[in-house]
Amino acid sequence: MTPQPKLDLDPEVVRTARRLAARAAEPIIEMARTHTTVSVERALLRLAGLAGADADGRPWVNHLADAVRDQVGLEHGVALPVWDALLTGPYPSLTELAQDAARGRVRFRLPAGDDAEAARAAARAAARAGIDRIDRRRAERDRMLREVGDPPHPWIYLIVATGDIYEDIPQAQAAAREGADVVAVIRSTGQSLLDFVPEGATREGYAGTYATQENFRLMRAALDDVSRELGRYVRLTNYASGLCMPEIATLAGLERLDMMLNDCMYGIIFRDINPRRTFIDQRFSRQIHARAGIVINTGEDNYLTTADAVDAAHTVIVSQLLNERFGHEAGLTDAQLGLGHAFEIDPSLPGSFRLELAHAQLVRELFPNAPLKYMPPTKHMTGNIFAGYLLDAFFNLAGMMTGQSIILIGMMTEGIHTPWLSDRDLALENVRYVRNACGDLAEDFVPRPDGFIAQRARRVLAESVELLERIADDGLLNAIADGTFGVTRRPPDGGKGLDGVVERADGYFNPAIEILDDEDPHAAATDEAAHAQEEVPA
């Protein structure tokens, strides 16, 4: 149900904000459409079924993409050289080709004429097979939702992070039994800086578990089991960010994850990933998310951990509007835009709760059909667990009053240590109590038209429009370089991964991009679901 507007926002101001966001985003979209990256090319190989790694853990997709780049460059993409080598050489599969390429035994070329047409046809068939598999996994999700049921909003979102996938699984299942609707397996610290995706099930990670295809498969199967047990679908979240964003998004689609952290600027600001690399990788990753029916979670909450949550409130709105524009252009619907924001105002500030309500209600009204993800307090958790538990209850109350869609549970031991299972149990009890006690309180919460909350919301929106005007004129890359978001300066040619960015040449060919650009991802999913139902015996 679309929430009713309560803040009396000027529709023309809202339209202006979106127009400016679109103008600011356009040069970035054009850059993404005219460039590729090593990870985009490796994602194509993964869609085509190439998996595995050498004895040292270096994936075959890296070996193959690097060999092509060294010999003929990536300006035309990997598809033509790779499938030409498959068709003209003694290689029964991509794996054997990649293994020989790693040993320096393959000579790649850019084919022409009939050879090029044959390579294109073979590459298209391989990409189509991978995308068809993503479509089937999306149809599987739809079937499970019909079979076991979908929990009502707000969904309770909980993080599991032991470093060992075989420890994560029982903890995730226990969390689901205690009320979690979404389980996020946080990644091992620093994985976003790796320019490869580890292989296999992993048992060693620091403050998180490595994102791998096998770990995705194991956790999805475990949550399917507990979903059937509980009679409600439990969603799985991971992280499509960093230097391998397109590949991780592809693996998530192939293994039926439901949500992925995927923000337009988080990796730039907080992980020092090159801005150009990030935006190019992100467009492809979001196209995959759109096709797979995955809900993205954006990271605006992080800005408020480094900047003041009152002074910088408008930067959250600006980032959300940019994330919306980039997401729509890549094919995501409103229902897939899990835009993020957070309860991070200093609780000692007089009227802090009213300010939080103003900000949360503004986001809810600007994006009425988006499954908003509301993040708990972290910056001002002092170690006083009793005050922290109370602050989390206020956060849960704000989420219910303003109709948030996804509520990440707050821990009273936030910032002290990795939470114990007992801490998690108490946190789940807190959010369950508030959710049950409030019921449909959002229907009754209506701020006075000219009261503090409505006026504060309109002021933040006006400041957002002013900032968007500057960004549209000066350029988003310059705004990031100036420290506009999260008070962190990131120049366009700085950071990690710029050497993996390649401008497309005339004749560039990537059959996955061709399919994703040309087809409506949601119509394709509907067709797949209908086909699957036709195959079910009466």
Q: Which residue spans within 140-206 are E strands per DSSP? A: 155-160, 182-185
Residue 492 tokens, joined: 């366009």
Instruction: Tell me if residue 266 is catalytic.
Output: yes
Q: Which two tokens stand for residue 440?
A: 């449909």
373 has catalytic annotation: yes
Instruction: Give yes or no for a cis peptide into 111 (omega within 30° of 0).
Output: no
Return d(Cα 6, Cα 362) in angstroms, integer.
Answer: 9
Known catalytic membership, residue 496: no
CA dihedral 362, 365, 371, 375 (to 10 degrees): 10
- CA separation for the pair 440, 445 (Å, rounded): 9
Measuring CA to CA, which residue among 283, 294, 23 is closest to residue 142? 294
Catalytic residue among 100, 258, 263, 301: 301
Q: Which of 6, 157, 168, 373 is flagged as catalytic?
A: 373
Side-chain half-sphere exposure of 129, counting CA atoms within 13 A: 11
Residue 265 has φ and ψ, to the nearest 5°, of -130, -5
Look up tokens 């590459």; give the residue: 123
Q: Phi and psi dihedrals of 268, rounded to 5? A: -65, -50
CB burial class (10 A; 0-12, 13-18, 19+) of residue 485? buried
On whether the CB atoms of residues 197 and 248 are closer than 8 A, the answer is yes
Q: Which of 157, 210, 266, 508 is an active site residue?
A: 266
Closest CA to 291 of 124, 127, 131: 131
Helix (H) or strand (E) holding 163: none
For 323, half-sphere exposure in the C-beta direction (CA atoms, 13 angstrom radius) is: 29
CA distance linking residue 321 with residue 245, whole number of Å: 21
For 402-520, where are the alpha helices, taking DSSP H only? 421-438, 441-444, 452-474, 476-481, 511-518
Cβ count near 2 (within 10 Å):
6
What are phi and psi for residue 338, nearest 5 degrees?
A: -80, 70
Task: Tell me the catalytic residues.
Answer: 266, 301, 373
